[in-house]
Chains A and B, each alone.
Chain A
Amino acid sequence: MFLEQLLNGLQLGLVYALIALGYTMVYGIIKLINFAHGDVFMVGAYLGVLGYTVWKLPFPVAVVVAMAGAAVLGVTIERLAYRPLRVRNAPRIAALITAIGVSLFLEYFSSLRFVFGPNYRVVDRPFKDVRWQLGPLGISNIQVIVLLTVIALLLLLQFVVYRTKIGKAMRAVSFDMDAARLMGIDVDRVISFTFAIGSALAAAAGILYVMAYPQIYPFMGIMPGLKAFTAAVLGGIGNIPGAVLGALIMGMAEVFTVGYVTSDYRDAVAFSILILVLLVRPAGLLGKAGPEKV
C-alpha cells in the first residue's frame, strides 16, 4: 500500500510540476504571477482531446498540436495583455489584475456554446486500459505514461535552459533584464519564448491530467492551477528545480493525507505545509532570499 500510494503521489505531483514550471518561469523572468496559466492548461487539454476525437489525429500528433496551440495562446496573451503594460511601465499590480481578467475571460469564453461549451464531458482514452500487478504493487499504463512523459519533458526543459543559447538568454534576462538588454539580447523575444514553453508544458499537463482523470470542462484549470501555483511558491517561485520539488511535496502531502489520515483533511494538510515552510523560509524551499515586492 505504501508503494502504491507513493506512486499515486508521484503521478499527481509530477502533473502539478508541469503546470508549476509555467508559473515559476514566467515569474522568474518578468516577476508576474500569470493567473491565466491554469486556463491555458484547460485550453491545452481541450485541444488535445478534440485533436484525437473530433479531428481524428493520431494521439502523439494531437499532443504536439495541443502544445503548439497552447504555446501560441500563451504568446498571444503576453503580446496583447502583458506587454503593453510592461512597455508603459505600469505598476505590477495592474499586470496582476490583467492576469486575473485574462483568466476569467478564458474560462467564460471557453464556456460559450460555440467554443467548448459549459458542460462536463467524459473523455475516452485513445488506448486500452492495462494494469500490471507486481507483487503487492499495482500499476496502470496511465501511470507509466504520465511518469515517463513528465520526466522526459523535464529533462528536455533542463536541456533547453542550461544547454542552448536561448536558455542562456532566459537566464540572463531573469538575472537582470536591463543588463541583458544592454548586452544585445532581444528581451521581448526571450519573454515570448518563455511564455511559449510554459504554455506548451501546461498543455501537456492538461492532456495527461484528463488521461488520468478522464473528465473535461471549462473550469477544470482552477484547482490544479491553484495547487501548482502553491507548489511553485513552496519550492521558491522563480526557481525551476524548486517548482518540481514543491509540486512533488504537494502531491505526496495530498495522497498520504488521504491514505493514512483521512480524506477530509486533504487540502488542509497540503496548504498547512505551505504556510509552515513559508514561516521558516519566506522565499520557499529553494528560493533566493532577498527583497521582494509582490
Chain B
Amino acid sequence: MSDATRPTDDHVPGDDEFDPIEVFPEADEMDLRPGADNCYKCSTCDTNCPVAEVDDEFPGPKFQGPEQWRLKRQSDHDVDDSIMKCSNCMRCDHACPSEVPLSQMHNSARGEYVDERMSKRSLEYWRNRLLSNYRLMAHLGSKVPRLTNFVMGLTLTSVFNEKVLGITSEREFPEFATETFREWWRARGGSDASRERAQAAREERGESGAEKRVAYFHGCYSNYNTPEVGKALVRVYEHFGYEVVVPEQRCSGTPMFANGMLDDARRAADTNVSELAAAIEDGADVIASCTSCSMSLRQEYPELFDIDGVDDVSSNTWEGLEYLRVHEDLEGELEGTRADVPNLAYHVPCHARNQGLDGQAIEVLTTIDGVEAQDVGESCSGISGTYGWKEEHYETSMQIGEEMFEHMERADGDTGLTECPTCAMQMEHGTGYEIKHPLEVLEAALVPNSPGTERAATDGGIDETVGPNREGQDEPFGAN
C-alpha cells in the first residue's frame, strides 16, 4: 500500500471534519499564514515586479511576501531592509494565480520594519514621514499658495531638499492651486447649492423619484493641486442629477502604506471611515477621482485595519467614471456629444488595473465625437507616489518609466490622460506633455460653458446644468 492511500490528517477514519490547529496562539495581529501557504513559488509575481526588472539588488515580491513572512517566524530573523525598495505598485497582486495577498504582506512587513528597525531619529524616517504626510504640508502651503510655489521653486530649496532631506532635485514640486477645491466648494454654496442643482437637473432630465446622492472623496491632490478635477467631478455628477456632498476627510493613506507609516495611516483611516460611513448611512455612495484613493478605501483599509464600518465603506466606494457607467446610461448619454480635445495618450495606473478599470477610460471617452485616445500599454509609470521623489529611488523610478515614456511618444497624441495624480506627474516629467483626467474630458462633453475654465459667474449660477454639449457647439478644451 502506498503512503498516499492512507490519510494522514484524519484522526478518525471516515471523519472528514477538518480541525485547524492553533499554530501561534499568542498572535494578536492578522494571521497571514493561509496566504503564505497558498504560494507555490511559481514566481509569476517576480516577473511582474517593475523594480526587480531594473534593479537586481531587489529580491522581488515572492521574497518580500510569503518567504519573508516564513523567515520572520524564526525569532532570529528581522524584516529585511530591502522591503523599502518595494514601490507598492501592487502589480504582484494581479499576477498571483494562487490568491496570495502579496501587497497586504508587503504593507505589514514594511510597517514592522519602520516600527522596529528604522531609527526614529534618522533623517530617512523624517523625510519619509514628511513625504507621506503630504496633506499636512499641502494644507500649510496652500494657505499662501503663491509664496509656497515661489519658495519651492527656488534653487536653494531644492538643494536643501536633496542634500539634507534626500528628496530629489530632479523633480519640480507640484504647484499649489490659488484656490483649493474645498474653498471653491464652500464659495459655491456647498451641498445646499448642489442639492438645488441636482434637483433642477433631474427635472430637466424628466427623472422623478428618489434623490441621488454621492459623497466625494477628493483626496489631497485634487484638493490642493488640481481642483479642476474635483470641479469636473461635481459638474458631471450634478449633470446626471446627483447631489454631491463633500465629507470631512484626511489622506487616504496610500503614501503612508508605501512608507510603512501604518500608525499615521490608521489615524487618517479612523476619520475617513467614520465620516464616509456616516455619508453612506445618509444614502450616499462614495466616489473617488484618484484610483489610488479608491484602492486604499476598497482594499487596503479592510486588509489592514479593523475599524467599525470599514467593510461598508469598502463595498460602497467607486471610481468616478465606473459609478456612472454602472448606474447611468453613460455611453447613451455621450452618444452624439462632442468635445474638441487634442489626441490623448492614455496610461492605466497600476492601482486602476487592479480594480478592473483598465479599459474603461478609453471605452467610455471614445464614444464622444472628437475624442481620440490611445492606450500606451501596460508599463508602470515608475513613480509610485512618494517613491520616485526619494533621491535614492529617482533613477530606478525613471528607468521603470522609460518604457511608458517611449510608448507615449510613439502614440499619436501629445496630451496625456490618466486617473492617478502621481502617474500624471511622472508622465509630465518624462515627456513634457500636459496631462488630463478622464473626468475633465467627460465634463467637456457633457457640461456646456465649463470645461476646465475658472468662471465664477457660471459657477455661481444654476444654468450650468442645462443639456450636454451637443454636436456643433464649439468648446475649447482646457481653456485656462
Q: Do A and B bind each other?
A: no
Chain B interface (Cβ < 8 Å from any Cβ of A): none
